[in-house]
């Protein structure tokens, strides 16, 4: 199996959650690292291990970021990393697949399935490295991971429970 290393300069994990039940608030984790084992185009045998640095969170609003990093949500002081490790892959066709795995967030692990696709490989005109691109999407219930803070309001609650996830990344062919 060929090893690909996630390029931390070209990777990010975004989330969106309903706010006031009328609009989505979006956040970005800008430091995603890890390793993918993959021989294109054989998605059936792909495996992935990723780590997200919780401190890299930004929503573009410092006070909101501070609240999200508190014990009400991500609890950065206790849980500085989010982990994903694949447990299986289902090929959909072409470059598309579903990757099943375990997501560990706030010290709690639950299975999750992400719909994904890969692009490439291509040779970088800048570094000469061989690269692949990946996009994966999924959803989770934040309460399953102990993120239960909320406030009631007329017509609903401040924060939705369902969180949409999108991960975009490039990975370089390992040279070791």
Helices then strands, counting H and E runs in the chain, come out as 1, 12
Residue 32: band (very low, low, confident or very high) from pLDDT cuts 50, 70, 90: very high
Q: What are phi and psi of 65, to 5 degrees?
A: -60, -45
The rounded percent of the chain whose pLDDT value lies above 90 is 91
Residue 48 predicted with pLDDT over 80: yes
**Residue-wise pLDDT tens digits, 56-84:** 999 999 999 999 999 999 999 999 999 99
Please say if the pLDDT value at position 176 is more than 80. Answer: no
pLDDT at 86 over 80: yes
Task: Count how many domains the chain has.
Answer: 1
Domain range for 76? 3-173
pLDDT bucket at 109, cuts 50 / 70 / 90: very high
**Which CATH number characterizes residue 140's domain?**
2.40.128.110
The reported pTM is: 0.94
What is the helix (H) or strand (E) element at residue 119, kind and residue range? strand 108-123
- Using CA atoms of 71, 140, 79, 76 in order, give the dihedral in degrees to the nearest 10: -50
b/e code 53-88 from CB counts within 10 Å (16+ = b) = bbeebeeeeeeeeeebbeeebbbbeebeebebebee
Please tell me the distance from the alpha carbon of residue 37 to that of residue 175, in angstroms, as a whole number. 13
Per-residue model confidence as pLDDT tens digits over 124-152: 999 999 999 999 999 999 999 999 998 89
Q: Read off the pLDDT band of 21 (50, 70, 90).
A: confident
pLDDT at 151: 86
How far apart are alpha carbons 4 and 95 in whole angstroms? 17
């Amino acid at each position: 199996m060929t090893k690909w290393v996630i390029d931390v300069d070209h990777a990010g994990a975004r989330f969106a959650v309903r706010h006031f039940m009328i609009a989505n608030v979006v956040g970005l984790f800008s430091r995603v690292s890890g390793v993918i084992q993959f021989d294109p185009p054989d998605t059936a045998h792909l495996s992935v291990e990723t780590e997200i640095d919780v401190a890299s969170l930004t929503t573009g609003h410092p006070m909101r970021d501070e609240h999200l990093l508190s014990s009400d949500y991500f609890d950065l002081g206790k849980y500085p990393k989010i982990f994903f490790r694949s447990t299986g892959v289902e090929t959909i066709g072409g470059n598309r697949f579903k990757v099943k795995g375990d997501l560990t967030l706030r010290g709690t692990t639950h299975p999750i399935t992400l719909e994904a696709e890969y692009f490439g490989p291509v040779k970088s005109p800048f570094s000469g490295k061989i690269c692949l691109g990946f996009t994966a999407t999924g959803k989770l219930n934040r309460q399953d991971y102990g993120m239960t803070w909320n406030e009631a309001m007329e017509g609903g609650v401040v924060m939705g429970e369902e969180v949409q996830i999108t991960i975009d990344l490039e990975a370089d062919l390992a040279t070791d």
